[in-house]
């Protein structure tokens, strides 16, 4: 270890960590509150991409080393556990892991160490440790003895210094499975916790009134849509129908992607009823939300619903940290966080159904599957126990205060980080004293990539960004994905394999889609709006664009010239048949009062941002809920402005439904729903002004047809213009907000 610092390598940004949630929020406190003597190193994929793109000599070294490693793996037996493990932890990732700066490595969820230096491991649940050789929800483990030998060789290795978990059942399962006294001595119980930013600044009791209780459902910490049923989303929808049918008022906030209707019906959901309630008693947000947005939803909710088939530690802690009552199932690990009727509500029945004890191994292996009996029992418990809390406000508020206080005491991120890193430092000191310093097995030029790591101020961006690839933009020319702090553009619509996300993939493997990594959308320079190569400038391109601009006011002549140019390109006249200069479809303006303005040939169209990809045929056929047309950007902007003025008159003239506050305190705004539209008004210190929320004095600053649309407008304004002290409840501050949106 050089100097007084312990250098820790974090190889989580590599492609083999995609299904394992890379920079998972469960571990953010270890980064935000790392002691001064701990230095953390992880690859910045954007910097790596640029390095390999610009410096062919360095790229060649890493590609050749990866191929040598791949050839060695190829000699393994095709069906062996070792072969399957190495196929997943593919050669470029192994090379990049081994060369990452650090005295030791820190891995989580499933172990993929380089075995070139010491490592420590932290996990929440037992079965994911065996990924990809075993999976959650499948209660059988194939080739048990061979699997045991494989993982015993990893954890019994002298380079494994410690195995940590905050769930006692997980440590017991690892001990029972591996059956090795050497491994048992490396098992350590740890705390867990959240960064200080996750804790609410509100005092207990500052939730909205229980007269219209608010319930929140989020399908997973990584917001992966496939977790809807495992997370219990169908049970939440069934519970909500029971609540509304009972004549109760309330609001259900869903942050999730809704599964297909046929699947919802199979799980007992009344799809027609749910569709009718969306926008009324149900608010649905299907977009990805950053942690501070999730926190805002948590703070506004009274109950957090999680009738899940597996443990989701971060979500439970985030709820309790804001004083929101967690309603959770009794799966393995829940008792670490929630005490029934004290700090939350525990629903019984899931554990016995999903976690049958294995006779051969005495292990707890989860088994996912639909049980109508258990589903009914969980819904009945949710309904009766939530109703009991609502009917006795004192019962709710007492539990609310205990949840808040319990989170403050038990889930301190500072304590988690201090204890964990102290343990790791101690283990490394023991290792050094026994084997000596300088155990580095890599002969690669690590100094050549030293500037490609994440800087200390960049960790927040990694944790705020999706930990798995999430589609951000899709056009007819390609798509942009976001993952781990990077925007990744890929032309066309190719099939993307798991390892294709690696920055080395396009140089290592033939046929990999060509990707571009950038830190922001702006850095992509609109590549997603052009076909392959369309971003290249040249004399001929400028000439074509100039002629196109001249002819656009004359539609007939414009179309004729376009046909001539197409024929000319087809026969090779301009030598860029694959790279048309002037795209037929172009995004001209984005986010104008909730609309995107798109040019198609000589016409301009405005469609709502939530409508997705633009199709000229769909626009002409009236397939969009709202679509405006014009022969210039200015003409379309005038139409949007006129329609916005008309819509603003609807709350007072065209809708008898009273305004309802949906979200309070979202970046100093209250978000109000009236009819089918949502409005944001600057938060007022005088809460008795609520009956006049949409009066002239409290005129809305932002509006839209979904909660998501209004929230994104607010966030865009906040990002562009940090909030000064003048943003208060005065009319002047409202006018500032209104001017900021024009």
Q: In terms of domains, do 189 and 202 share one?
A: no
Residues 639 and 659 in one domain: no
Q: What is the CATH number of the domain that holds 129?
A: 3.40.50
**Which stretches within 232-363 are classed as H helix?**
233-245, 261-266, 271-277, 291-300, 313-321, 350-354
Strands 677-682 and 669-674: antiparallel
Pairwise CA distance, residues 105 & 117, whole Å = 7
**Is pLDDT above 70 for 603?**
yes
Q: Residue 291 belongs to a domain with what CATH number? A: 3.40.50.2000
What gap in Å lies between CA 681 and CA 699, rounded to an integer? 7
Q: Is residue 568 part of a domain?
A: no
Task: Say yes or no to pLDDT of 272 above 90.
Answer: yes
Kindly indicate the confidence band of residue 567, based on its pLDDT and cuts at 50, 70 and 90.
low
**Higher local confidence (pLDDT), 135 or 420:** 420
Please identify which residue in the block is written with the tokens 């805002």.
296
Instruction: Let me know whether 361 and 441 are in one domain.
Output: no
- Output the pLDDT for position 735: 31
Residue 281's closest CA among 324, 221, 312, 237?
Answer: 237
Cα–Cα separations (whole angstroms), residue 341 to 32, 328, 472, 483: 32, 12, 41, 39
670-707: per-residue pLDDT in tens? Answer: 787 776 677 777 664 333 333 344 433 333 457 776 77
CA dihedral sign, ordered 514, 518, 523, 528: positive
CA distance 186 to 169: 16
Report yes or no: 569 and 577 within 8 Å, Cβ to Cβ.
yes
Bridge partners of 630? 604
Cα-trace Rg, the chain: 28
CB burial string 49-77: b at 16+ within 10 A, e below: bebbeeeeeebeebbebbeebbeebeeee
Phi first, then psi: give them for residue 471, nearest 5 degrees.
-70, 125
Q: Which residue in 313, 307, 327, 458 sits closest to 388, CA to CA?
A: 327
Q: How far is CA 545 from CA 237, 648, 649, in A?
A: 53, 39, 42
Tokens found for residue 701: 């600053």
167 and 64 in one domain? yes
Q: Is the pLDDT of residue 586 over 80?
A: no
Specify the pLDDT at position 535: 43
pLDDT digits (tens, 9 = 90+) for 193-239: 999 888 876 666 678 889 999 999 998 655 666 678 989 999 999 99
C-beta atoms surrounding 410 within 10 Å: 17
The whole-number pLDDT of residue 382 equals 97
Residues 6+ apart with CB under 8 A from 645: none
Structure tokens at 395: 């019962």
User: How far is Cα 523 from Cα 254, in angstroms, rounded to an integer?
Assistant: 32
Band of residue 286 on the pLDDT scale cut at 50, 70, 90? confident
Lowest mean pLDDT among 150-164, 467-481, 709-723: 709-723
**What three-state secondary structure class fits 390?**
helix
Among residues 70, 77, 72, which one has the least CA distance to residue 92? 70
Q: Does residue 477 belong to any structural domain of this protein? A: no
Smallest CA-to-CA distance from 30 within 15, 8, 14 is with 8
Asked if residue 181 and residue 77 are part of one domain, the reply reads yes
Q: What is the pLDDT of residue 140?
A: 61
Which residue has 């493990």 as its token pair?
Answer: 85
The answer to whether 324 and 302 are in contact (CB under 8 A) is yes
**Domain end point (choices 409, 425, 458):** 409
- What percent of the residues of the chain are helix, what percent strand, and what percent coil, each to the nearest 5? 45, 15, 40
The answer to whether residue 269 is domain-embedded is yes
Q: Considering the chain, what is the average pLDDT of its residues?
A: 80
Residue 253 pLDDT > 50, yes or no?
yes
pLDDT in tens, 156-186: 999 999 999 999 999 999 999 999 999 999 9
Please write down the HEC assignment for all residues of 609-653.
Answer: HHHCCCCHHHHHCCCCCCEEEECCHHHHHHHHHHHHHHHHCHHHH
Tell me, yes or no, whether 533 lies in a domain.
no
Evaluate whether 243 touches 386 at the Cβ level (below 8 Å).
yes
Cα 545 from Cα 537, distance rounded (Å): 11
CA 691 from chain centre, in angstroms, equals 37
Segment 440-452 shows an average pLDDT of 64
Say if residue 139 is in the same domain as residue 251: no
Do 134 and 162 fall into the same domain? yes
Do 361 and 256 lie in one domain? The reply is: yes
441 pLDDT tier (thresholds 50, 70, 90): very low
**Contact (CB, 8 A) for 116 and 441:** yes
Reduced to 3 states, what is the DSSP secondary structure of residue 160?
strand
* Residue 494, in any domain of the structure: no
Pair 168, 82 in one domain: yes
In this structure, what token pair is assigned to residue 71?
Answer: 């050839």
The answer to whether the pTM exceeds 0.75 is no
- Domain boundary (645, 673, 693) is at 645
Do residue 178 and residue 65 come from a single domain? yes
To which H or E segment does residue 38 belong? strand 38-41
Contact, 105 vs 98, CB < 8 A?
no
- For residues 152 and 20, state if they share a domain: yes
Q: Residue 733 gets which letter from DSSP?
A: H
The CB density around residue 471, as the number of other CB atoms within 10 Å, is 11
SS3 703: strand
Task: For residue 458, tell me if it sits in a domain.
Answer: no
The answer to whether residues 329 and 355 touch, using CB atoms and an 8 Å cutoff, is no
- Omega before residue 115 within 30° of 0, cis: no
Query: 3-state class of 497 per DSSP?
Result: coil
Tell whether 491 is covered by a domain. no
Is the pLDDT confidence value at 433 over 60?
A: yes
Element at 566 (helix H, strand E): helix 555-570
Residues 58, 46: Cα–Cα separation, whole Å: 16
User: Residue 338 sits in which domain range?
Assistant: 196-409
The strand order across the sheet containing 214-218 reads: 282-285, 251-255, 214-218, 303-306, 325-329, 345-347
Q: Which residues pair with 491 in a beta bridge?
A: 478
> What is the predicted pLDDT for the residue at 541?
55
Q: Is residue 176, in this structure, part of any structural domain at all?
A: yes
Q: Do 391 and 250 share a structural domain?
A: yes
Residues paired with residue 120 on neighbouring β-strands, in sequence order: 106, 162
Total domains in the fold of the chain = 4
Q: Which of 604, 619, 645 is the last residue of a domain?
A: 645
Phi then psi for residue 102, to 5 deg, are 160, 150
User: What number of other Cβ atoms are within 10 A of residue 739's Cβ?
Assistant: 9
């Amino acid at each position: 270890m050089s100097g007084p610092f312990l250098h820790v390598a974090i190889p989580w940004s590599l492609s083999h960590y995609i299904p394992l949630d890379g920079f998972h929020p469960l571990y953010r406190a270890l980064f935000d509150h790392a002691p001064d003597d701990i230095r953390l190193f992880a690859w910045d994929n954007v910097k790596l991409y640029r390095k390999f793109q610009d410096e062919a000599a360095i790229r060649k070294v890493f590609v050749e080393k990866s191929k040598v490693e791949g050839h060695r793996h190829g000699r393994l037996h095709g069906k062996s556990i070792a072969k399957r493990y190495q196929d997943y932890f593919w050669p470029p990732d192994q090379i990049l892991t081994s060369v990452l700066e650090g005295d030791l490595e820190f891995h989580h969820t499933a172990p993929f160490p380089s075995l070139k230096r010491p490592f420590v491991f932290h996990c929440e649940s037992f079965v994911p440790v065996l990924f990809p050789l075993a999976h959650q929800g499948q209660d059988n483990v194939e080739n048990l003895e061979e699997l045991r030998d494989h993982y015993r060789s990893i954890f019994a290795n002298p380079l494994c210094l410690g195995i940590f978990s905050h769930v006692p059942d997980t440590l017991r399962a690892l001990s029972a499975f591996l059956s090795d006294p050497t491994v048992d001595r490396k098992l350590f119980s740890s705390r867990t916790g959240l960064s200080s930013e996750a804790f609410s600044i509100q005092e207990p009791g500052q939730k909205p009134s229980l007269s219209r209780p608010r319930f929140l459902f989020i399908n997973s910490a990584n917001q992966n849509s496939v977790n809807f049923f495992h997370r219990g989303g169908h049970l939440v929808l069934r519970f909500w129908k029971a609540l509304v049918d009972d004549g109760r008022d309330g609001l259900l906030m869903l942050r999730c992607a809704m599964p297909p209707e046929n699947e919802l019906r199979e799980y007992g959901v009344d799809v027609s009823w749910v569709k009718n309630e969306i926008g009324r008693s149900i608010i649905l947000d299907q977009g990805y939300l950053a942690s501070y947005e999730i926190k805002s939803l948590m703070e506004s909710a009274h109950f957090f619903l999680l009738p899940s088939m597996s443990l989701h530690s971060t979500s439970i802690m985030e709820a309790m940290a804001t004083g929101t009552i967690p309603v959770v199932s009794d799966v393995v690990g829940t008792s670490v966080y929630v005490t029934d009727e004290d700090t939350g509500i525990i629903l019984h029945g899931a554990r016995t159904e999903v976690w049958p004890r294995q006779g051969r191994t005495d292990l707890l292996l989860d088994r996912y599957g639909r049980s109508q009996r258990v589903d009914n029992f969980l819904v009945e418990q949710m309904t009766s126990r939530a109703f009991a809390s609502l009917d006795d406000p004192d019962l709710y508020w007492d539990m609310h205060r205990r949840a808040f206080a319990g989170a403050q005491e038990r889930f301190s991120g500072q304590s988690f980080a201090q204890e964990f890193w102290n343990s790791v430092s101690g283990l490394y000191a023991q290792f050094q004293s026994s084997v000596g310093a300088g155990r580095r097995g890599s002969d690669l030029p690590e100094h050549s990539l030293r500037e490609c790591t994440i800087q200390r101020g960049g960790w927040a961006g990694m944790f705020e960004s999706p930990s798995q690839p999430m589609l951000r933009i899709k056009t007819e020319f390609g798509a942009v994905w976001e993952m781990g702090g990077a925007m990744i553009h890929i032309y066309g619509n190719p099939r993307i394999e798991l390892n294709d996300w690696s920055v080395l993939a396009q140089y290592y493997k033939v046929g990999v889609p060509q990707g571009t990594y950038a830190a922001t959308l702006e850095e992509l320079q609109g590549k997603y709006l052009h076909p392959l190569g369309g971003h290249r400038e040249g004399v001929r391109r400028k000439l074509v664009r100039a002629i196109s601009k001249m002819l656009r006011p004359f539609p007939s002549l414009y179309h004729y010239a376009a046909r001539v140019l197409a024929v000319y390109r087809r026969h090779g006249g301009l030598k860029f048949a694959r790279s048309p200069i002037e795209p037929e479809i172009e995004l001209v303006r984005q986010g104008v009062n909730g609309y995107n303005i798109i040019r198609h040939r000589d016409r301009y169209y405005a469609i709502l941002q939530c409508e997705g990809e633009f199709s000229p045929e769909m626009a002409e056929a009236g397939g969009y809920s709202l679509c405006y047309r014009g022969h210039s950007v200015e003409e379309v902007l005038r139409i949007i402005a006129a329609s916005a003025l008309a819509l603003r008159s609807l709350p007072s003239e065209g809708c008898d439904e009273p305004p309802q506050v949906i979200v309070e305190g979202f970046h100093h705004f209250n978000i109000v729903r009236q009819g089918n539209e949502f409005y944001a008004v600057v938060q007022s210190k005088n809460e008795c002004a609520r009956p006049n929320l949409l009066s002239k004095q409290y005129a809305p600053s932002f509006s839209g047809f979904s909660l998501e649309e209004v929230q994104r407008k607010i966030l865009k304004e906040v990002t562009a213009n940090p909030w000064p002290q003048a943003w208060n409840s005065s009319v002047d501050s409202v006018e500032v907000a209104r001017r900021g949106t024009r």
